[in-house]
Amino acid sequence: MTRAVALYEAGVWRAMLVLTALFVGAGGLGVSTSAGLIGLLLLPVLALPAARALFAAPLAPALLAAALAWSALSLVWSPYDKPDQALKLILLTPLYILAVFAAAQASSEAARSRINWLIGLMLIVAVYVLVEALFNAPVALWVKGLLDEPGQAIDLHARTMIVLGRATTGFLIIAGPAAIALLTRDGLGARAGAALLLVGALAGGVAFGIEANVFALTAAAAAAALAWRFGERALGALCFAAAASIAAAPLYVGALIALVPDELAASLPLSWHMRLEIWTYALEQIAASPLIGNGLDSARVLGEDAVLRGEPFNTLPLHAHNAGLHIWLEAGFVGAALFAAALAALGWRCMRASLFPAQAAGAAFAGTAFLATVLVGSGVWQEWLHGCLAAGLATALMIRR
């Protein structure tokens, strides 16, 4: 690699990592751009080595490509006719994968430099999240008050909490692997930095009212501990578990609904009671078209207005609040089988990879945090979450001995 290429790569990474940190603090949505730009801007450098890697292990990429192509094709029979999501899935997903590949291909010196840069930025975001969590979001409320149009202030606090909750989701996916990178280093400063990152993620999860973030952080920490102990085997097992969570979603969600009596459901927090109702309605829509699904983005228009415990809600608010049900709902058995097969092939590949414990733990943390989020909270197609996952996995693969 020439010095000019090395400087170009370093410039791309530093600029995009700065943007990623800013976008995470602003609510996470922009990470779809910064993570995608890493892959796009490094494409001329990565094209040949990426093609070699693809031909060396083609099964998982081929299955993923087939799953994405089927999902995009399902737009043909979807009641939602805008092609935005299909284009994002087809065009952005390869760029996110290239960003992760670029991190894995980096030399030890380059990787250490980039991860140090990222850790510093994430520590700044951690301080911001902590301040917002401890003092009732003073900065975010002030900024949002400046940006909002007159007459919107009535729900300013509620909307600010949503933005900060989403910011915490993106933050924990990236900050977890960064904390693990710090835990591989000696010194009190490294330990304190790792603690700050994890405490920031926990405080944001508790303070901003999105229970899925606490669930994601807990599950990700447990998965990281297993991967640290058992390495690639644990990482592969997590991929198999993710495949099963998609393939068997109608079975385990249906069983869960059947096991929860109405009296117990009524005693749950309202958001979880609503989830049960959303899952019930999603299962009904899956039953209407189980083989090929209702089409991409059909969840945006299939829902109905309803009232639960005196509160209005939609029976399918943009997505099914479960990744497996969402895929079954829109892409049917065919789509679910393809995505599950791609994850299983990835798991098999992970078990044959050469990762050391910290890398496996970082990847397990990012992947599990993403999976937990889309299993109970966010929509599985949301590109900003895909960008955060790419950034988290890239962070994990830039950890060096």
Residues in the chain, total: 401
Q: Is 42 helix (H, G, I), strand (E, B) or coil?
A: coil
> Looking at residue 1, what is its pLDDT?
62
In this structure, are strands 305-308 and 311-314 parallel, antiparallel, or unpaired?
Answer: antiparallel
Determine contact, residues 13/117, Cβ cutoff 8 Å: yes
Instruction: Give pLDDT < 50 ranges for the chain.
Output: none
Predicted local confidence at residue 305, as pLDDT = 87
For residue 76, give the 3-state DSSP assignment.
helix
Q: For residues 178 and 14, what is the distance between their CA atoms, to the nearest angstrom?
A: 16
Q: What is the pLDDT of residue 209?
A: 78
Our measurement of the distance from residue 282's CA atom to the centroid of its chain's CA atoms, rounded to an integer in Å, reads 22
Q: For residue 393, what pLDDT is reported?
A: 97
- Structure confidence by residue, pLDDT tens digits, 76-131: 999 998 999 999 999 999 999 999 999 999 999 999 999 999 999 999 999 999 99
* Span 31-40, pLDDT tens digits: 999 999 999 9
Using an 8 Å Cβ cutoff, are 352 and 358 in contact?
A: no
Alpha helix locations (H) across 137-261?
138-147, 156-183, 188-207, 211-230, 232-247, 249-259
Beta bridge partners of residue 193, listed in sequence order: none
For residue 353, what pLDDT is reported?
A: 87
Check residue 141 and give its pLDDT.
85
Q: What integer pLDDT is reported at residue 148 of this predicted model? A: 66
pLDDT at 149: 56
